[in-house]
Amino acid sequence: MARQSTRVSITEDGTVVLVDPDFDSLPLLRSVDPCFRVQRAPLAGFAKPRFVRLRSLGSGIAADQLLLEADASLWKPTAPSGNRRVVPCEASALDVRIELARRALAQCNLCARRCGVDRTRNELGVCGLGADARVAEHFVHIAEEASINPSLVLNLAGCGLRCRYCQQGALLNPALVGGELLTPDLWSSLDARGARSLSLVGGNPDESVYAILRFLAAAPANWHLPIVWNTHAYATPETLRLLDGVVDCYLPDFKYGSEECGRRLSGISEYPATAHAAIAGMLKQGVPVIVRVLVLPGHFDCCHAPALESLAGLPQENLSVSVRGQYTPDWKITPRDGTLARRVTPEETVRVCQRASDLELRLVG
């Protein structure tokens, strides 16, 4: 469904905070901060959406034979020339990805929990999703990173993580989320006016990759906005392989540099190593990767400094870092959570930015 309202909160010092503002929020934003401007910058290397090429590229497999092909055959390169257009009755390269994503649901490995359930038979893992995806709301977000801003955001239900401070806790149980199924019909409901990108958000998009690929296959012929994949980075190589050639910009979080914090705050194991490997895999696809670091109060030494050092060891050509100082005690956070029960201070955010600069990481706003 389209957005109903913008969330507004008031900090202890009386500051008004708008969560995920849209164009309708501009008057209120400017009443709070008269200097507020909607930031825009070019997205490096972008010409046209990559999935459009996959959709028009022939696979060499007849459409009616797609279900019968072995996985290994489906992963073979398409046309030798790399640019032969799909012909009638032939599956496109995007059709092949859709079929591979459908098969992944049968023993689900789309996030690093690897629940292994058969989602095609409505067996449910931690994310609570079957084969379909559900959009809780869609709107044009005006406070994303400048190279993708403003962005038409599709907030999807379901996520393999259970972060105690999640700002979208209401989306974590798909059975309780209203909204619309992510089907081709949704294209006619989207209002992309003013948008410079399309962001798949959540929840988390990795777990809904099958439905998302089917949705993109039905995009209008004149679609021209880049596809942004906003993920928790608890991703598997299998999912990233499905997305290679589809995504124009990755927007992963790097939540924790501490194994223990990942277990305690999100209920997951091996997060730092998994996120590092996932971001490395994204960079291999040759598209911009903007890593978000949400500053958590009291977590500089255990999480943010190690995460930044991990990023500094990766190729830097397409990598940038977005430090976000907008943490809010939310969802399941209580006074028993210690420092996480307060907002982050400006000094904590500056400290993370300074460490990123010291490591010669490219900071973006």
CATH architecture of 7-57+133-358: Alpha-Beta Barrel (3.20)
* pLDDT tens digit sequence for 218-252: 999 999 999 999 999 999 999 999 999 999 999 99
Report the amino acid identity of residue 193.
R
Least reliable range by pLDDT among 8-12, 100-104, 179-183, 308-312: 8-12
- Taking residues 113-123, report their average pLDDT: 97
* CA 221 distance to own-chain centroid: 24
* CA 235 vs CA 161, 201, 273: distances in Å: 11, 14, 11
CA distance 105 to 122: 10
CA distance 346 to 18: 17
Nearest to 43 by CA among 240, 244, 197: 197
Give the model's pLDDT for residue 33.
82
CB 128 within 8 A of CB 174: yes
* CA 99 distance to own-chain centroid: 21
Give the model's pLDDT for residue 79.
46
Give the model's pLDDT for residue 273.
98
pLDDT above 90 for 15: no
Give the model's pLDDT for residue 284.
98
Give the model's pLDDT for residue 19.
78
Give 157's pLDDT tier (boundaries 50, 70, 90): very high
Give 294's pLDDT tier (boundaries 50, 70, 90): very high
Give the model's pLDDT for residue 78.
55
Q: List, in sequence order, every residue forming a beta bridge with 138; answer none if it has no partner.
A: 2, 154
280: buried, middle or exposed (CB in 10 Å: 19+, 13-18, 0-12)?
A: middle
Give the model's pLDDT for residue 120.
96
DSSP string for residues in 20-75: S-BGGGHHHHHHH-TT--------TT-SS-HHHHHHHBEEEEEGGGGGGS-HHHHT
* pLDDT tens digit sequence for 55-78: 999 999 999 999 999 999 999 865
What is this structure's pTM? Answer: 0.95
Query: 3-state DSSP call for residue 286?
Result: coil
* CA 145 vs CA 27, 101, 140, 294, 302: distances in Å: 20, 29, 13, 13, 26
Question: Average pLDDT over the chain, rounded to whole?
Answer: 93
- Taking residues 352-359, report their average pLDDT: 98
CA distance 142 to 298: 29
Rg (CA), the chain: 20
Residue ranges in the chain assigned as alpha helix (H): 26-32, 50-56, 71-74, 93-105, 209-217, 237-243, 259-266, 271-283, 305-312, 346-358
CA distance 107 to 52: 28
265: buried, middle or exposed (CB in 10 Å: 19+, 13-18, 0-12)?
A: buried
Give the model's pLDDT for residue 35.
86
CA distance 233 to 249: 13
CB 295 within 8 A of CB 345: no
* pLDDT tens digit sequence for 312-339: 999 999 999 999 999 988 878 998 889 9
Percent pLDDT > 70 in the chain is 94
CA distance 154 to 11: 27
Q: List, in sequence order, every residue forming a beta bridge with 152; answer none if it has no partner.
A: 140, 198
Least reliable range by pLDDT among 37-51, 79-93, 195-209, 261-275: 79-93
Angle among Cα 109, 133, 208 to the nearest 5 degrees reads 30
CA distance 29 to 243: 35
Residue 302: both structure tokens together: 């255990």
pLDDT above 70 for 8: no
CA distance 123 to 136: 22
Report the amino acid identity of residue 137.
E
pLDDT above 70 for 133: yes
CB 199 within 8 A of CB 168: no
Percent pLDDT > 90 in the chain is 82
